[in-house]
């Protein structure tokens, strides 16, 4: 969901559980979507991407689902580990945006408890 | 593994002063970007740069901002006269092709007093 200022939504999970992080994107003309992970004090790190002509893409322990009808993107992390603790951002690229003018979402903090 | 490096990691400056943030993109990359993130908020696009010119810029990137690739390896962001609201983490990014897999640096934190 969206957040204001410092109050990021937080998802707390137990180590080993599966995590699902959701994102609503804004532009129906966006043709490309990316999930980034940001650890404290670091830059965003690419996790997985998906193009608008797909509805699912799998990576190592991660799956991205795209529902263009409701402009919704989700990131599923299997067997969540303490190292997965971070803020996760979805980003979209509007078709007219060009040259990677990505629009980032507000972020969700994932807290993994042992 | 190649990475984007940024300097300084943290800069404190007085309002009205000029600041230059430096970045060394991944060596064979062709597209370069600056994004910024105000503390606790979204990452925001500032500018993209390709073939030695600005490709696109956001509303944030006004006349106080400029970018340069002076020597084929460094990519700099200059803020001519800093304002309090310029305080943020500034991220440089690069990519080889027209693709979303941006490689971000660790950021330069700018604090304007």
Could you report the per-residue pLDDT of B2-21, keeping only the tens digit for each? 799 999 999 999 999 999 99
| Closest Cα in chain B, distance from residue A14 (Å) | 24
Pairwise pLDDT comparison (A8 vs A87), residue with the higher score: A87
Could you report the per-residue pLDDT of B25-38, keeping only the tens digit for each? 999 899 999 999 99
What is the C-alpha separation between A86 and B46, in angstroms, rounded? 24
Nearest CA to B67 out of B39, B35, B95, B43 is that of B35
User: What band does A1 get if pLDDT is binned at 50, 70 and 90?
Assistant: very low
A and B: number of Cβ contacts within 8 A = 72
From chain A, pick out residues whose CB is under 8 angstroms from the CB of B99: 100
Could you report the per-residue pLDDT of B50-70, keeping only the tens digit for each? 999 998 899 999 999 999 998
Pairwise pLDDT comparison (A63 vs A93), residue with the higher score: A63
CB environment A40-55: b (16+ within 10 A), e (fewer)? eeebbebbbbbebeee
CB A62 within 8 A of CB A80: no
Identify the residue among A4, A100, A103 best suited for mutation to test binding to B, counting B beta carbons within 10 A and taking the highest: A100
């Amino acid at each position: 969901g969206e957040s204001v200022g410092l109050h990021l939504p937080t998802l707390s999970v137990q180590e080993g559980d599966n995590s699902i992080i959701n994102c609503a994107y804004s532009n129906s003309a966006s043709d490309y979507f990316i999930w980034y992970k940001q650890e404290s004090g670091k830059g965003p790190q690419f996790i997985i991407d998906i193009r608008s002509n797909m509805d699912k893409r799998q990576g190592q322990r991660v799956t991205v689902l795209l529902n263009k009808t409701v402009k919704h993107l989700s990131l599923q992390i299997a067997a969540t580990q303490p190292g997965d603790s971070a803020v996760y951002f979805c980003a979209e690229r509007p078709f007219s945006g060009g040259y990677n003018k990505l629009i980032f979402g507000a972020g969700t903090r994932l807290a993994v408890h042992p | 593994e190649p990475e984007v490096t940024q300097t300084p990691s943290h800069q404190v400056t007085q309002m009205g002063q000029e600041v230059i943030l430096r970045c060394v993109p991944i060596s064979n990359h062709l597209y370069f970007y600056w994004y910024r993130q105000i503390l606790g908020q979204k990452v925001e696009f500032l500018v993209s740069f390709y073939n030695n010119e600005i490709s696109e810029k956001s509303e944030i990137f006004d006349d106080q901002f400029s970018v340069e690739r002076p020597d084929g390896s460094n990519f700099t962001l200059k803020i001519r006269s800093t304002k309090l609201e310029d305080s943020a983490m500034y991220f440089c990014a690069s990519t080889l092709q027209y693709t979303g897999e941006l490689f971000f640096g660790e950021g330069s934190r700018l604090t304007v007093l």
